C-alpha cells in the first residue's frame, strides 16, 4: 500500500525539523539517528525511508536553501556589471534561520563554498561576455562572491534586525566604487555615497 504524498512530505519534514532543532544545539558528528527519531516521534526504519544518514539530512536542508540555478538564471548582474545583491539578500532573508546556523561558527564549513559556487555559476555566463581571460574571470568571481557572502553573513549573524537596504547599498558601493573610495567619502562628508 502506497503512502499518500502529503503524509510522506510531512514525515520527511518532521524528521528534517527534528534534525534541525538538534543541529542548532549540537555539532553534526554528535547527532545520531536515534536523537532525530526520538525527537520526531518515529522509528529508525521510518528515518531510513527518507534519509541515508544524518549527513544526508543536512545535505538536503542545505540544497533546499540554495537557489535553483535553472529557476534563477534570469537573476544575473545588470548591464552595469552589478551583482544580483537584492536577490541574494532576499534568499538570505527567506532562509535566515538556516543561514545563521550554517554559516556560523558551529555550522557546516563546506556550506559557504557551496553557496559561493552556486552564485558563481549564476553570474559566470554574463561575466564571460565581458572577460575572455579565464584567470581574471575566476579570480574576479571568487573575490566578488567571497566579499558579498562574507558581508551578508556578518550582517545577519551580528544583528537581530539588520538594515538590509543600507547593507545592499553599501555592498553595491563597495563592489562598484571600491572600499577605499567609500572610506574617503565618509571621512570628507560624514556619509556614504548611497
Note whether 92 and 152 are within 8 A (CB): yes
* Domain count within the chain: 2
**Residue at 29 is within a domain:** yes
pLDDT above 60 for 2: no
- pLDDT band at residue 20, thresholds of 50, 70 and 90? very high
- pLDDT band at residue 1, thresholds of 50, 70 and 90? very low
92 lies in which domain range? Answer: 66-189
pLDDT tens per residue, range 80-134: 445 566 677 777 778 888 988 898 877 888 898 898 888 888 878 777 777 678 8
**Residue at 194 is within a domain:** no
CATH code for position 44: 1.10.357.10
Q: Which of 64, 92, 114 is the last residue in one of the domains?
A: 64
pTM surpassing 0.85? no
pLDDT tens per residue, range 26-39: 999 999 999 999 99
Helix/strand/coil (H, E, C) string of the chain? CCCCHHHHHHHHHHHHHHHHHHHCCCCHHHCCHHHHHHHHCCCHHHHHHHCCCHHHHHHHHHHHHCCCCCCCCCCCCCCCCCCCHHHHHHHHHHCHHHHHHHCCCCCCHHHHHHHHHHHHHHHHHHHHCCCCCHHHHHHHHHHHHHHHHHHHHHHHHHCCCCCHHHHHHHHHHHHHHCHHHHHHHHHHHCCCCC
Q: Which of 15, 34, 64 is the last residue in one of the domains?
A: 64
Higher pLDDT, 112 or 158: 112
Query: Are 143 and 173 part of one and the same domain?
Result: yes
Amino acid at each position: 500500500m502506497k503512502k499518500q504524498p502529503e503524509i510522506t512530505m510531512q514525515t520527511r519534514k518532521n524528521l528534517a525539523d527534528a534534525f534541525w532543532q538538534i543541529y542548532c544545539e549540537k555539532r553534526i558528528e554528535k547527532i545520531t539517528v536515534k536523537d532525530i527519531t526520538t525527537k520526531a516521534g518515529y522509528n529508525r526504519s521510518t528515518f531510513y525511508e527518507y534519509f541515508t544518514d544524518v549527513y544526508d539530512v543536512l545535505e538536503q536542508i542545505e540544497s533546499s536553501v540554495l537557489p535553483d540555478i535553472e529557476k534563477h538564471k534570469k537573476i544575473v548582474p545588470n548591464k552595469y556589471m552589478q551583482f544580483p545583491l537584492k536577490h541574494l539578500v532576499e534568499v538570505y532573508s527567506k532562509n535566515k534561520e538556516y543561514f545563521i546556523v550554517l554559516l556560523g561558527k558551529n555550522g557546516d564549513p563546506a556550506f559557504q563554498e557551496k553557496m559561493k559556487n552556486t552564485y558563481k555559476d549564476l553570474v559566470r555566463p554574463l561575466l564571460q561576455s565581458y572577460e575572455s581571460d579565464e584567470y581574471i574571470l575566476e579570480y574576479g568571481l571568487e573575490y566578488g562572491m567571497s566579499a558579498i557572502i562574507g558581508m551578508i553573513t556578518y550582517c545577519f549573524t551580528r544583528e537581530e534586525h539588520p538594515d538590509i537596504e543600507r547593507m545592499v547599498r553599501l555592498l553595491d558601493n563597495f563592489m562598484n566604487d571600491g572600499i577605499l573610495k567609500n572610506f574617503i567619502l565618509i571621512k570628507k562628508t560624514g556619509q556614504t555615497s548611497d
